[in-house]
Amino acid sequence: MRTIGTTPTLPSPRSRPTRRCSTTAKSSGIDEIRTWLTTTASEYTFTRTLVRADAVDDETWVVVNHLEGYFPGDVVDLRYKFTLGGDRISELVIAP
Protein backbone atom coordinates (compact mmCIF):
# COMPACT_ATOMS: atom_id res chain seq x y z
CA MET A 1 0.00 0.00 0.00
CA ARG A 2 1.07 3.53 -0.67
CA THR A 3 -0.31 6.79 0.64
CA ILE A 4 -1.20 9.41 -1.92
CA GLY A 5 -1.38 13.01 -0.79
CA THR A 6 -0.73 14.48 2.60
CA THR A 7 -2.52 14.38 5.91
CA PRO A 8 -5.11 17.15 5.78
CA THR A 9 -5.83 19.80 8.35
CA LEU A 10 -9.37 18.85 9.22
CA PRO A 11 -12.08 21.28 10.29
CA SER A 12 -13.83 20.86 13.60
CA PRO A 13 -16.81 18.46 13.60
CA ARG A 14 -19.17 21.44 13.87
CA SER A 15 -18.00 22.76 10.51
CA ARG A 16 -18.27 19.45 8.69
CA PRO A 17 -20.06 19.53 5.33
CA THR A 18 -23.63 18.29 5.50
CA ARG A 19 -24.24 17.73 1.79
CA ARG A 20 -25.11 14.15 0.88
CA CYS A 21 -23.19 12.26 -1.79
CA SER A 22 -24.63 9.60 -4.02
CA THR A 23 -23.16 6.18 -3.40
CA THR A 24 -22.15 5.85 -7.04
CA ALA A 25 -20.72 8.63 -9.17
CA LYS A 26 -21.06 8.16 -12.91
CA SER A 27 -20.20 11.01 -15.26
CA SER A 28 -19.45 11.07 -18.92
CA GLY A 29 -17.70 13.58 -21.07
CA ILE A 30 -14.87 15.91 -20.23
CA ASP A 31 -17.12 18.79 -19.13
CA GLU A 32 -19.23 16.65 -16.77
CA ILE A 33 -16.16 15.10 -15.16
CA ARG A 34 -14.48 18.51 -14.81
CA THR A 35 -17.64 19.89 -13.14
CA TRP A 36 -17.77 16.91 -10.74
CA LEU A 37 -14.09 17.38 -9.83
CA THR A 38 -14.47 21.10 -9.15
CA THR A 39 -17.71 20.77 -7.14
CA THR A 40 -18.62 17.54 -5.35
CA ALA A 41 -15.14 15.98 -5.30
CA SER A 42 -13.50 19.17 -3.98
CA GLU A 43 -15.99 19.81 -1.12
CA TYR A 44 -14.40 17.36 1.27
CA THR A 45 -11.02 16.99 2.95
CA PHE A 46 -9.59 13.47 2.98
CA THR A 47 -6.54 11.30 2.62
CA ARG A 48 -6.40 8.47 0.13
CA THR A 49 -4.40 5.22 0.34
CA LEU A 50 -4.04 2.93 -2.66
CA VAL A 51 -5.15 -0.55 -1.58
CA ARG A 52 -4.79 -2.44 -4.86
CA ALA A 53 -5.08 -2.30 -8.65
CA ASP A 54 -6.30 -5.34 -10.56
CA ALA A 55 -6.55 -5.98 -14.29
CA VAL A 56 -9.92 -7.58 -15.03
CA ASP A 57 -9.07 -8.05 -18.70
CA ASP A 58 -7.06 -6.23 -21.39
CA GLU A 59 -9.40 -3.22 -21.33
CA THR A 60 -10.66 -3.06 -17.72
CA TRP A 61 -8.93 -2.23 -14.43
CA VAL A 62 -10.34 -1.94 -10.91
CA VAL A 63 -8.42 0.30 -8.51
CA VAL A 64 -9.39 0.37 -4.81
CA ASN A 65 -8.58 3.41 -2.68
CA HIS A 66 -9.21 3.76 1.07
CA LEU A 67 -10.40 7.27 1.99
CA GLU A 68 -10.54 8.81 5.47
CA GLY A 69 -11.55 12.35 6.32
CA TYR A 70 -14.44 14.73 6.75
CA PHE A 71 -17.19 13.59 4.42
CA PRO A 72 -20.44 11.68 5.07
CA GLY A 73 -19.41 8.40 6.70
CA ASP A 74 -15.80 9.51 7.43
CA VAL A 75 -14.27 6.29 5.96
CA VAL A 76 -14.87 4.45 2.68
CA ASP A 77 -13.16 2.09 0.28
CA LEU A 78 -13.89 3.28 -3.25
CA ARG A 79 -13.56 1.11 -6.33
CA TYR A 80 -12.61 2.92 -9.53
CA LYS A 81 -13.49 0.77 -12.55
CA PHE A 82 -11.63 2.01 -15.64
CA THR A 83 -12.59 0.76 -19.08
CA LEU A 84 -10.09 1.64 -21.78
CA GLY A 85 -10.88 2.45 -25.38
CA GLY A 86 -7.63 2.61 -27.31
CA ASP A 87 -5.25 4.84 -25.36
CA ARG A 88 -8.02 6.65 -23.44
CA ILE A 89 -10.43 5.92 -20.63
CA SER A 90 -13.82 5.27 -22.23
CA GLU A 91 -15.66 4.72 -18.96
CA LEU A 92 -14.98 5.36 -15.27
CA VAL A 93 -17.35 4.19 -12.55
CA ILE A 94 -16.61 5.12 -8.92
CA ALA A 95 -18.54 3.20 -6.27
CA PRO A 96 -18.11 1.86 -2.72
pLDDT digits (tens, 9 = 90+) for 60-96: 999 999 999 988 899 999 999 999 998 888 888 989 9
pLDDT digits (tens, 9 = 90+) for 15-64: 444 333 444 555 567 788 788 778 877 788 889 999 999 999 999 999 99
More confident residue, 35 or 9: 35
Whether 25 is in a domain gets the answer no
Whether 32 is in a domain gets the answer no
Whether 80 is in a domain gets the answer yes
CA–chain centroid gap for 21, Å, is 12
What pTM does this model have? 0.62
Q: Which domain holds residue 87?
A: 47-96
**pLDDT value of position 96:** 92
Whether 86 is in a domain gets the answer yes
Handedness of CA 20, 68, 64, 84 (dihedral sign): positive
CATH at 69? 3.10.450.50
Q: How many domains does the chain have?
A: 1
Instruction: Please answer whether residues 75 and 96 qualify as being in contact, where contact means their C-beta atoms are separated by less than 8 angstroms.
Output: no
